[in-house]
Amino acid sequence: MDGKVHGMTANAFMSVSLDPELVVISIKEDAKMLEMIKESGRFSVNILSEKQKKESMTFAGQIDNEEEIVFDELAGNPVLPGSLVQVSCEVSGEYVEGDHTLFIGGVKDICLEDGEPLIFSCGKYRRLNEGELQESG
């Protein structure tokens, strides 16, 4: 859109199919990202590590981060370095449902790393600890 990389936190992401590899994201009708995905025809999904709370809060608009966020590239799409999962997608379908647009993404590439995921549940960041949710600072 403006030649810059844009990001957001999403509350809905899931796998749709393994053959072909498809995922879906749900974007609210008033989100800035909606038109950017429609225009570019592509998106990436990053599942953050527990060490990426600041990035999560930045993309959620919870904090203003003065530091520039540096992106890597995976199959032509920007991805966040340090993420546990990076999924590079090309839009293969778009469906308006209620006040959201569902984008079906054909997976072009995926990168997986070991580590603990960043978890946000019930209005708080949390940590997995021996199978139980624990609050994190």
- pLDDT tens digits for the chain (137 residues)? 456 778 888 878 999 999 999 999 999 999 989 999 999 999 999 999 999 999 988 888 888 877 788 899 999 999 999 999 999 999 999 999 999 999 999 999 999 999 999 998 888 888 877 555 566 65
Cα 39 from Cα 75, distance rounded (Å): 18
Sort strands 77-79 and 13-18 into parallel, antiparallel or unpaired. Answer: unpaired
Number of domain units in the chain: 1
Exposed, middle or buried, 56 (CB in 10 Å: 0-12/13-18/19+)? middle
Structure confidence at residue 3 (pLDDT)? 62
Domain-located, residue 4: no
Domain-located, residue 7: no
3-state secondary structure of 98: coil
Structure confidence at residue 133 (pLDDT)? 56
Structure confidence at residue 19 (pLDDT)? 96
Query: Hey, what are 100's tokens?
Result: 């959201």
- Quick one: which of 110, 94, 111, 92 has its CA closest to 102? 94
Structure confidence at residue 130 (pLDDT)? 58
Domain-located, residue 126: yes
Residue 104 identity: I
Domain-located, residue 8: no
Domain-located, residue 2: no
Q: Which residue has the tokens 């209620």?
A: 98
Structure confidence at residue 131 (pLDDT)? 56
Number of H helices, E strands in the chain: 2, 10
Sort strands 85-97 and 100-112 into parallel, antiparallel or unpaired. Answer: antiparallel
Kindly report the CATH number assigned to the domain that includes residue 66: 2.30.110.10
Q: Range of 76's domain?
A: 13-135
